[in-house]
Structure 1
């Protein structure tokens, strides 16, 4: 295709699906605008320690692709940008993208982070799910692409109180620029691929009242626990309790929290079963003597190697699986241990059992791209035909991939991204 005149394609979202789509298009010689709302590409996969069912290092898979994006001459990377308008039709879409100010000159910044050492403002770190702190001037994580600092104006003392400016004083590259303003960029593209990713369904009242999350120190979400077991996480991979920094002896994983529940979200979130099996195995690899119990409604091991992965958890690692959805969790105020009340549906017995930590497999929902594409009643993007056109939206030339169109794991998201890239490339060539 390299010798033909091809219009660019826009990819919205810089997670693994967006990265794959951008690379597939760029490798065909097509100009790609990869638009990401946060300061770095990588998405949720950058927060994961391992992937299932192979237990491969997540960042070992992701980082080379991120670097490839940064080095590809056909990809223009627009990070810390929001899509604010989309008009037109297939082959001729007009996008308006707002580039948010980093207050750092990215051409000068070397990523040395000397500035951060002298910044007095501390903020909960989103990358570690708020379990550690970052500075008001920061790089999201060590492998960030681009590896450039960003000033969080909401927590910067200069922007909030008119004091400090330490980062400007100590930056060896003189890269700080407090006068940066938002900049609007207009793009003319042939097709658009939305890969906006997912977020946890954090129904605060439900999680607090039924499971004690945010009320009891030793109740965690699955994404928080993922960061705990990671060597780059807030504890350096050491599994310790929030309440007393002690190593837990008994850990419970509870499935289908905010999933398959008509009150909140009737959908199965698809990834939670294998994610919890993975985290349970990683727990046993970290601490051989810990007792691990998984409370489940149904184990949905549908992918390649997933059933074997589940069987391995039971047979090789001795992980206990109990078919039940616990009714409530109560904390012992003296020990901060957690008492789980449940009915074992296989024995028809009501049980209360004590654990040192509880991990909630919280369901997921898509990060909705405002009103640019039609959404279904199930909160996911509408598809032209879920069977025959699983990546096509009802709008010709606009494609949806990954979690935006429905819950799915990393391999399925990558396959969808490649499919959408191929469809978008045909439009780019013909227009």
Structure 2
């Protein structure tokens, strides 16, 4: 893509693509430039698509700790939860299936999720949303929106913070963030973010914990060469995880009136996610303000799910009988490797200054999915007496499903 610009604009010290300036110290609800839509560092006004930026300041002010809370506050984005763990984000009438991290694409599986919709926002500086089709930078997907999560980067000056949060239903969260130079000259910088959260819920017998560790290093190998290396580990565990909701109508057609705290899940029902991303990039400034960036990402996502939820059927209004269980076992292990190469810079033509970006991206994702299946036994009593107590099923393994996706 080409765009006209100001020929007198100074080149940035570090090439701006693919990230705009950090927002965590700006105290602003916007950013000076973003590159998610075209790869070019344009202002929001210059970007030829409908875009939204949610900054670190806005997330902190609104207490948005996870991606669902963050996207819920974005105009033009709808957030719907299917049960206690699963969320769907949609825009322009279609589900959002394109997620990027620092501009690098990530494979999204809407069936198994692998924890994408449970992502914690502590490690991200800001979030950029491009509404509509964005195949130029994201490849295949739905013409709904692309969500680009921009990670926190090391700072040139030392900074550190520790935050503790206490909320309703035994919600406890501790978050630490430390950043700064690691050498006297400042040519090596680092940042570490750690989070631990343990919470219950307004739902009966529900428990959720998170462990998050994020570390990133930046090194100026030369005045023109920037090396970045980092690792992001997010583990989420839930107990009392429901599978869908519960019926809206009794067997006689009258509306049910379950309490807000009613949890159809068994107390041992679980969805556990483990996500680890190792990423590295080399950014090289070239002659005449051109720059080359090569990025490598390796993401491994695992989910371990054993669900039981008294959600099937329509109960008798008087006796509460007639319900059956949704029970299933699901596991998956997904490994994704992505190579992203971009070359960008200015050039003069017909008396105007232009910018050009060209790049190549290749992604390979493989899922190892053992197949177990589902069972639907009766609840065995009145739903009015339900307290989440139910024997664990023995669901035998019935097969193997391997899924490979490639995109270039």
| TM-score normalised by length of structure 1 | 0.22
Structure (1/2) with the larger strand percentage = 2
Structure (1/2) with the larger helix percentage = 1
Question: Which has the higher relative contact order, 1 or 2, with Cα contacts under 8 A spaced 6 or more apart?
Answer: 1
